[in-house]
């Protein structure tokens, strides 16, 4: 880990530019879920405790380089004040004289929020001049937005190169968890990859078969692999056009020593609907009009026994159509087992990306996982083995 944390920096009397992700849902100007705001509170609190002055930089929505009142961060001030339990000032631009004055007059214990960085078209172009304008407002840069770290933007990349830079608490927790899971993990390592399509997770599968000992494939994408094995999947969701790619992945896994686990039994229905009539069948016996909606109990048993053997688990994507009861059964049973093993200190479990958080929350297992990443795109790119520009910039700073 070549990056610094807040503990490595001298923050006393320093203006700290903190890049955060506070892209919270807003309905009629009211924040309906403040999770992202609450998660950055430790960083703000620790900077204040060390005698620093937190100045928050963030994007909000996609204003496309134009000032749009409905995407002004001003609307978040009351929620930020409640989360930080202190006064939050607001500057109507993230660079320039007004922002500079607000930064210089900030009082100890208070916070300054700068306007949406994406009101400047230059932000998403990683423009160095815009970054220099931001750098002029502070003494130290702190990136606490892992979920924006897969993008090289002025506030996430260029700025990190202009000031002494470190990771905030949330970024630190995320990077430590990810490093433990794929960087130098305790073996055996198991990955679970589920969800709808192979085509959206090709790079992910390619990276994982080189790094993990077991790769459990579930969900709609498992159907494509069953097709590649010459099995009938009826009217199930499957990308038949990807069947050769799936076959290549199976062959490559053989050569890297990664064991791929596909369902051995399946839960089959006639339509995509909750509580619709269904039966458990062998993967050899899916009827022409059958729709595979979940992995069967024998598959779950096998997955659970692999979890018991594993020391590290990394999970993206549900094992079935988890939004429809009872086709959430395999996802729930496997998730609860991973949670129990984690609780017992036998497994390090990291999960994230898209629907995974919703699926694990619904199963009631999320609270016991070692780490659940709420960063969608950044988590997936990291799982794909890519270097995230925002993290690389911190490492070089």
Provide the binding-site residues for ligand AMP, judged by CB under 6 A. Answer: 195-197, 200, 219-220, 237, 292-293, 317-318, 320-323, 354-355
For ligand AMP, give the closer residue by CB, 309 or 325. Answer: 325
Give whichever of 354 and 385 is closer to ligand AMP, judged by the CB atom.
354
Using Cβ positions, the residue closest to ligand AMP within the complex turns out to be 195
The sheet carrying 53-57 orders its strands as 88-91, 111-114, 53-57, 15-19, 140-143, 165-167
| CA separation for the pair 360, 75 (Å, rounded) | 31
- 259 assigned to active site: no
Whichever of 167 and 204 has its CB closer to ligand AMP, that residue is 204
Specify the residue for token string 């270097």: 387
> Is 354 an active-site residue?
yes
Q: Residue 321: beta bridge partners?
A: none
Least gap, CB of 336 to ligand AMP (angstroms): 18
Active site residue 45: no
The least CB distance from residue 233 to ligand AMP, in Å, is 9
How many C-beta neighbours within 10 Å does residue 187 have? 11
Tokens standing for residue 140: 């130290």
User: Least distance in Å: CB of 293 to ligand AMP?
Assistant: 5
Cα→Cα distances 231→21, 137, 219, 251, 253, Å: 45, 62, 16, 17, 20
- From the CB of 314, what's the least distance to ligand AMP, in Å? 14
**Least gap, CB of 340 to ligand AMP (angstroms):** 23
Task: Report the residue number, 138 or 219, with the smaller CB distance to ligand AMP.
Answer: 219
Output the six-digit token pair for 60.
């909000």
Q: Which is nearer to ligand AMP, 223 or 312 (CB)?
A: 223
Contact 163, 55 (CB under 8 A): no
What's CA 54's distance to the chain center, in Å?
25
Could you tell me the CA-to-CA distances from 169 to 48, 227, 299 in Å, in that order?
13, 45, 39
Taking residue 271's Cβ as centre, other Cβ atoms within 10 Å add up to 11
Query: Of these residues, 206, 354, 376, 385, which one is catalytic?
Result: 354
- Whether the CB-CB separation of 18 and 168 falls below 8 Å is answered with yes
Token pair of 283 as six digits: 């993967």
User: Which residue, 196 or 246, has its beta carbon nearer to ligand AMP?
Assistant: 196
In terms of Cα–Cα distance, which of 275, 305, 288, 294 is closest to 223? 294
Tally of CB atoms within 10 A around 397: 18
* Comparison of 63 and 195: residue with beta carbon closer to ligand AMP: 195
Active-site residue, 243 included: no
Q: Which helix (H) or strand (E) holds 26?
A: strand 26-27
Least distance to ligand AMP, CB of residue 142, Å: 31
Catalytic residue among 206, 234, 377, 385: 377
Which of the following is catalytic: 87, 125, 197, 270? 197
At closest approach, how far in Å is the CB of 46 from ligand AMP? 34
Catalytic-labelled residue, pool 36, 211, 243, 337: 36
Residues 200-203: contacts with CB within 8 Å, 24+ apart?
A: 201/316, 201/317, 201/380, 202/245, 203/384, 203/385, 203/386
Active site amino acids: 36, 197, 354, 377
């Amino acid at each position: 880990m070549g990056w610094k944390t807040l503990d490595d920096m001298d923050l006393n009397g320093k203006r700290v530019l903190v890049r955060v992700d506070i892209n919270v849902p807003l309905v009629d100007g009211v924040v309906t879920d403040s999770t992202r705001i609450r998660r950055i509170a430790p960083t703000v609190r620790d900077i204040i405790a060390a005698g620093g002055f937190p100045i928050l930089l963030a994007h909000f929505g996609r204003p496309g380089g134009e000032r749009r009142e409905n995407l002004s961060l001003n609307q978040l001030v009351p929620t930020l004040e409640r989360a930080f339990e202190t006064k939050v000032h607001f500057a109507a631009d993230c660079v320039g004289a007004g922002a500079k004055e607000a930064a210089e007059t900030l009082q100890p214990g208070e916070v300054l929020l700068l306007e949406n960085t994406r009101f400047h078209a230059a932000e998403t172009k990683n423009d160095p001049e815009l970054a220099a304008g931001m750098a002029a407002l502070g003494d130290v840069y702190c990136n606490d937005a892992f979920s924006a770290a897969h993008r090289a933007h002025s506030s996430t990349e260029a700025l990190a190169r202009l000031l002494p830079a470190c990771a905030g608490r949330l970024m630190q927790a995320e990077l430590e968890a990810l490093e433990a899971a794929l960087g130098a993990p305790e073996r055996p390592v198991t990955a679970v990859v589920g969800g709808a399509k192979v085509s959206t997770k090709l790079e992910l599968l390619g990276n994982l078969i080189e790094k993990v000992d077991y790769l459990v494939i579930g969900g709609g994408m498992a159907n494509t692999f069953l097709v590649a094995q010459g099995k009938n999947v009826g009217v199930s969701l499957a990308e038949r056009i990807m069947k050769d790619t799936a076959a290549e992945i199976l062959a490559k896994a053989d050569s890297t020593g990664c064991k791929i686990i596909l369902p051995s039994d399946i839960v089959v229905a006639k339509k995509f609907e909750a509580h619709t009539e269904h039966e458990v069948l062998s993967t050899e016996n899916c009827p022409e009009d059958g729709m595979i909606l979940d992995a069967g109990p024998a598959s779950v048993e096998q997955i659970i026994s692999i979890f018991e053997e594993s020391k590290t688990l990394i999970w993206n994507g549900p094992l079935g159509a988890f939004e429809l009861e009872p086709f959430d059964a395999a996802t729930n049973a496997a998730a609860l087992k991973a949670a129990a093993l984690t609780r017992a200190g036998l497994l390090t479990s990291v999960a994230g990306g898209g629907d995974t958080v919703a699926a694990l929350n619904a199963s009631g297992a999320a609270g016991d996982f070692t780490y659940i990443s709420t960063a969608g795109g950044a988590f997936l790119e990291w799982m794909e083995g890519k270097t995230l520009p925002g993290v690389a910039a911190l490492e070089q700073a």
